[in-house]
Structure 1
Amino acid sequence: MELPLISDEQVEILLSDLLEHYGYDFTGYSKASLKRRVIRLYSLDKIPGFAEFRYKIINDNVYFKRFVEQITVNVTEMFRDPVFFKTLRDVVLPRLGTYPFIRIWLAGCSTGEEAYSIAILLKELNLLHKSLIYATDLNPSVLEKAGQGMFQLSYMKQYSENYILSGGKNDFSSYYTAKYSLAKFNDELRGKMIFSTHNLVSDHSFNEFQLILCRNVLIYFDRDLQHKVLELFDDSLEDLGYLALGTKETIDFSRISRKYKRLQSEKIWRKTN
């Protein structure tokens, strides 16, 4: 028997439950995108009806974690968009190298591939010793994976190619140790990262940064929430600091845009003082 689809109204009920019981606010997320992922999970787990689905999310903590993991988007890879990382390597990080200490916020870090990519860039520019990467995500289970610094060994060929295209000159395998089917990245890289939960929707600024990266997260938010999150980033960024977004994202038309000047090639803006 085919399962009934979940209605827009039922999705709204689930979002209210998440806010009331767990403090997770998804109300500003793109409704169409959220609904697709909710229906996919509902069908995948063959829940007999909406009431049972709702009950499991509210009362079963393990299932709640699965629900959050499935409706948040966790697609990432190391040195994704190599030209972007080359711009960080050649333009942004050398400028930040003049600072006595560099604080970087990676918002929506997922399983951590981007955090380790940035740490490798910092090491190669001899800046890792005076840097700290704050990597945050809404989803605790992806942060747990990120903190382990272990990725599938089968991905390393692709990651190595990305690394070389981003300007890397070293042997990429020198940054990790192979353990069975996994690649474990060096503790020196992990030691410069702080992984913690942070909800872009409801949590506040927690430090002042010279570089903030939030790539391919805002596309899942509605326009009002995008503006709210951009203002959070603005509050968290030092004058002359850099804000980096995903290829389909922009600060144009936002309230903070007048304070920023875009670098020519990539979706990176510098905050004017």
Structure 2
Amino acid sequence: MITDDREVEVLINEIFEYYGYDFSGYSRASFKRRVDRLLQVDGFDNFTDFLSKIRTDAVYFKHAVEEITVNVTEMFRDPHFYKSLRTEILPILATKPFIRIWHAGCSTGEEVYSMAILLKEANLLHKSLLYATDLNTVVLNSAKNGVFPLRMMKQYSENYIQSGGTKDFSEYYIANYGWAKFSDDFSAKMIFSQHNLVSDSSFNEFDLILCRNVLIYFDKDLQEQALKLFDDSLAKLGYLALGTKETLKFSPLQKQYQQLGKEKVWKKIN
């Protein structure tokens, strides 16, 4: 079954009223797609039953939020982006006494572990702290464990090599029962916590903020709100990295930033 626009608005209002989660700034097309998929997968015949379940079953609501907010991710996704981090940004961050990095909307953590590997290879992990946040507590718990499907390692290894990696990628994990467990040296430098880009405020000053392929799910106002939050959280001369389809170009903040080449990375200059 397909939800109509009125039903989507009712759902957004009810979720806010019952649970305080505000999806009003999410892209309607994306939100509606996720809800339609949820109705289909969970076998609802009509919207009324679904809405009733949302209102009365907090456990089911939690499951619904997880499905609606989940993001697709992989290690060293867009290898050329990681190559630019490796060659252009980390050498500059290396001059700092301590490096703070925020992965906003970290999902299941593949990008956070990719960053930790880059830092280790640049001999910077010992003086770095990686903050990884997401709205979705289930993916956060998964990320904390540093365990990923072993079948993905071939693809991740290829991405890693294309990003300029020269080691044997399998050095970084232990394979066991179809899973790859990444070294605790990495997770020891990570802090995972729930954070809502819609309603929560800045919580530190960072040298690099990565929020890749999250803003595409937000409408224009919410995108601006998130970008303002990142600006408030970024140290002077810090870097902001967005996804391939995301930009600072039409933001009021644009004049305070300088884009680095063709990559979706901006340096805070003002």
Partner of 1:83: 80
Listed as ranges, the matches of 1:1-273 within 5 Å are: 3=1, 5-273=2-270
Matched pairs, number: 270
Tell me which amino acid in the other structure corresponds to 1:230.
L
Deviation at 1:58, TM superposition (A): 2.3
Deviation at 1:64, TM superposition (A): 1.3
Tell me which amino acid in the other structure corresponds to 1:142.
V
RMSD: 1.0
Tell me how far apart the structure 2 counterparts of residues 58 and 246 of structure 1 sit (CA, whole Å): 34
Kindly provide the CA deviation profile for residues 127-148 of structure 1, in whole angstroms up to 9, marking residues without a partner as x. 0011011111111111111111
Tell me how far apart the structure 2 counterparts of residues 60 and 48 of structure 1 sit (CA, whole Å): 18
TM-score when scaled to structure 2?
A: 0.97
Deviation at 1:169, TM superposition (A): 1.0
Deviation at 1:114, TM superposition (A): 0.1
Residues 212 and 242 in structure 2, CA contact (< 8 A), matched pair in contact too = yes
Residues 65 and 141 in structure 1, CA contact (< 8 A), matched pair in contact too = no
Tell me how far apart the structure 1 counterparts of residues 19 and 200 of structure 2 sit (CA, whole Å): 14
Deviation at 1:182, TM superposition (A): 0.2
**What stretches of structure 1 of length at least 5 have no aligned partner?**
none
Deviation at 1:10, TM superposition (A): 1.3
Deviation at 1:32, TM superposition (A): 1.1
Q: Segments of 4+ in structure 1 off by > 3 A? A: none
Tell me how far apart the structure 2 counterparts of residues 116 and 21 of structure 1 sit (CA, whole Å): 35
Tell me how far apart the structure 2 counterparts of residues 18 and 94 of structure 1 sit (CA, whole Å): 45
Q: Partner of 1:256: helix, strand, or coil?
A: helix
Tell me how far apart the structure 1 counterparts of residues 206 and 124 of structure 2 sit (CA, whole Å): 15
Tell me how far apart the structure 1 counterparts of residues 172 and 121 of structure 2 sit (CA, whole Å): 11
Kindly provide the CA deviation profile for residues 182-226 of structure 1, in whole angstroms up to 9, marking residues without a partner as x. 000000001111111111111100100000000011111111111
Residues 135 and 195 in structure 1, CA contact (< 8 A), matched pair in contact too = yes
Residues 29 and 221 in structure 1, CA contact (< 8 A), matched pair in contact too = yes
